Amino acid sequence: MFDLVLGTNNAKKLVELQMMMPAGMARLTTLADIKGSIDVVEDGTTFAENAAKKATEQALHLGRWVLAEDSGLTVDALKGAPGVYSARYAGEHGNDAANNEKLLDELKGLPAEKRDAQFNCHLCLSDPEGQVRLTASGICRGRIGESLSGAAGFGYDPLFIIREYHRTFGELDLAVKRAISHRSRGLRILIPKLSALIANVGG
């Protein structure tokens, strides 16, 4: 079976990929289960650059196939911010509460029609030699609410309103979120390409 490393320590991303990938297509492992994996510095200026960096550097270090992704929020009124700084928008990496508070402050007073935004996800597959073999991306459009709503999800989910549902990602059922999220859309593009590649290189 094809051996594939996910360039993340996030078990939720592993589960998401397992649910979308045909059974038996690949053996999946996260960095959390691999001794000797490295922390790649995410200093790219775009999501695509960071995804490629995380995939190729980790693959070269481990000598294994690595699938990495980089994702985040871009807000139209903020000229694409927070962008690649989404996870550390307020300074401290992964402080969701502070990031959400800063975003609300930045958009204070703006009407709903000027609060358009999108979640972005870029995926990159590297071979063991550190060469990019596949890429895919997905987006999900919405707008930023004026207050937090919903306890599900993480990051900016409680602020990100999906117009069709009139609810935030923090309020939506997980099955609905999986169907329309930026990451799911990217994976639906990537998986057929990955299946064809696996057939060519062998398990």
Residues in contact with 22: Cβ distance below 8 Å, sequence separation at least 6, in sequence order: 191, 195
Question: Is 10 a known ligand-binding residue?
Answer: yes
Task: Name residues whose C-beta falls within 8 Å of residue 152's C-beta, 6 or more positions apart in sequence.
Answer: 169, 170, 171, 172, 174, 177
Asked if residue 9 belongs to a known ligand binding site, the reply is yes
Cβ-contact 29, 42 below 8 angstroms:
no
54 is in an annotated binding site: no
Question: Is 182 annotated among the ligand-binding residues?
Answer: yes
76 is an active site residue: no
50 annotated to a ligand binding site: no
- Residue 127 annotated as binding site: no
Check: CB of residue 96 under 8 Å from CB of residue 86. no
How many residues are present in the chain?
Answer: 203
> Is residue 179 marked as binding?
no
Structure letter (DSSP) for residue 45: S
Choose, from 33, 43, 70, 76, the residue flagged as catalytic: 70
Residues labelled as active-site residues: 70
Annotated binding residues for Mg(2+), written as ranges, equal 70
Annotated binding residues, written as ranges, equal 8-13, 70-71, 154-157, 177, 182-183
Annotated binding residues for substrate, written as ranges, equal 8-13, 71, 154-157, 177, 182-183
